Amino acid sequence: MNAPAVLKAQGLVKQFGGITATDNVNLELRLGARHALIGPNGAGKTTLINLFTGVLPPTSGHIELLGEDISQLAPYLRVRRGMVRTFQINQLFASMTPLQTLAMVVSQQRGLGGRWWSVLGQDQAVVERCEALLELFRLTEVMHQRTEYLAYGKRRLLEMAIALACEPKVLLLDEPVAGVPAGEREELLQTVAALPADVSVLLIEHDMDLVFEFADRITVLVNGAVLTEGTPQAIAADPQVKAVYLGHGEEVAHG
Ligand SMILES: Nc1ncnc2c1ncn2[C@@H]1O[C@H](COP(=O)(O)OP(=O)(O)OP(=O)(O)O)[C@@H](O)[C@H]1O
């Protein structure tokens, strides 16, 4: 039997003036899924993520998180209910270290508010959670370096660690390897592969190698609408998908 859906879009529409950026999208992310959302430039991936997170209100349609309608909920309340996203653009605190950053987020998450500096080193549970996150995201060696001096790949890892520190049930991963130099890619790919199994992940990605390595399910978005959805094998073999990608100078080179 299928795992239950943790995130659902039902008849989701977003119009900007005359442009329909999201066109009656139905999508289900299942518990523990490794689900990728792909589509050529301008297909509406970013708009869909903004609808999920609540940054944009839908023109019509509904979004359900863990069985509850969250369509009207403010973005921070969606985070609190377990849906967290990472960002394509670096939004890190340059002058803080990975340890300080994570201590702040973990403390906040545990209701210890802004007292992270006094908590750090004293609250064993916070320390242990930070250590585990630093380890999982391969940041232990650089935990005392200011973020502004970290390699780009390490900063992307820190972004993911911050997202995980929010204890998500649903993680929206926005292009985790975009712009990462070849030498730092492998570490990132391995880390994405090692994300906790109970966190359901929706990956938005242009990199087809990562999509096909990672995903057990793929949704293809074209002109704001779902073109098709299926297993990686089915998507790679789909002539419609090939046509869309070849038409945009990209390639679905797996099968
Ligand atoms: N704020 C906005 N106002 C007007 N049109 C918008 C706005 N945001 C997005 N669009 C339009 O909606 C469509 C979908 O854009 P979107 O950025 O969601 O696509 P995308 O798949 O994320 O593209 P990319 O892969 O290039 O990031 C495009 O035609 C875009 O021009």
Mean pLDDT in consecutive groups of 10 residues from the start of the chain, 255 residues: 90 96 97 95 93 96 97 94 81 86 88 63 83 96 94 92 94 90 87 92 89 94 96 94 71 49
162 lies in the same domain as 209:
no
Ligand 1, residues 47, 56, 227: which to mutate, most atoms within 8 A of Cβ? 47
Q: Please say whether the beta carbons of 204 and 29 come within 8 A.
A: no
Q: Does residue 148 share a domain with residue 78?
A: no
Pick the atom of ligand 1 nearest to 224's CA: 14
**Residues having CB within 6 Å of any atom of ligand 1:** 16, 19, 21, 39, 41-47
Domain that holds residue 209: 1-82+169-255
- Pocket residue to mutate for ligand 1, from 12, 13, 16, most atoms within 8 A of Cβ: 16
Residues 173 and 77 in one domain: yes
Best residue among 45, 88, 223, 244 to mutate for probing ligand 1, ranked by most atoms within 8 Å of CB: 45
- 94 backbone dihedrals φ, ψ, rounded to 5°: -60, -40
Q: Which residues pair with 64 in a beta bridge?
A: 8, 69
Give the atom of ligand 1 at the shortest distance from the alpha carbon of 17. Answer: 4
Distance in angstroms (rounded) separating the CA atoms of residues 50 and 57: 8
Domain boundary residue among 151, 167, 183? 167
Asked whether residue 7 falls in the same domain as residue 52, the answer is: yes
For ligand 1, atom 18, which residue shows the shortest CA distance?
A: 44
Specify the pTM. 0.89
Instruction: State the Cα–Cα distance between residues 97 and 248, nearest whole angstrom.
Output: 41
Residue nearest atom 31 in ligand 1 by C-alpha distance = 42
How far away, in angstroms, is 224 Cα from ligand 1 center? 9
Residue listed under structure tokens 């002539």: 239
CATH number of the domain that residue 30 is part of: 3.40.50.300
Nearest CA to ligand 1 atom 4: 16
- Residue identifier of the C-alpha nearest atom 7 of ligand 1: 16
- Using CA atoms, how far residue 216 sits from 42, 84, 176, in Å, is 24, 20, 17
**Separation between Cα atoms, residue 65 and residue 160, nearest integer Å:** 21
One domain, residues 246 and 142: no
Q: Using DSSP, state whether 53 is helix, strand or coil.
A: helix
CA angle at 69 for the pair 4 and 201, rounded to the nearest 5°: 45
pLDDT for 255 equals 39
What spacing in Å lies between the alpha carbon of 38 and ligand 1's midpoint? 14
pLDDT at res. 2: 79
Residue 179 neighbours by CB under 8 Å, 6+ apart: 152
Structure confidence at residue 144 (pLDDT): 96
Say how far apart CA 88 and CA 160 lie, in whole Å. 11
Last residue of a domain, one of 121, 136, 167: 167
Distance from the alpha carbon of residue 22 to the mean position of ligand 1, in angstroms? 9
Distances (CA, A) of 139 to 173, 189, 226, 233: 19, 15, 37, 34
Q: What single DSSP character describes residue 2?
A: P
* Statement to judge: residues 205 and 228 lie in one domain: yes
Element (H, E) at 65: strand 60-65
**113 shares its domain with 220:** no
Closest residue by Cα to residue 7 from 25, 24, 22, 29: 29
Do 71 and 116 reside in the same domain of the chain?
A: no
Nearest CA to ligand 1 atom 6: 16
120: which 2 tokens?
């750090």
Q: Domain check: are 211 and 239 in the same one?
A: yes
Backbone phi, then psi, for 3, in 5-degree steps?
-65, 155
Give the residue from 122, 142, 167 where a domain finishes: 167
Longest dimension (CA), the chain: 59
- Residue with the nearest Cα to atom 2 of ligand 1? 16
Domain count, the chain: 2
Non-local CB neighbours of 237 within 8 Å, separated by 6+ positions: 255
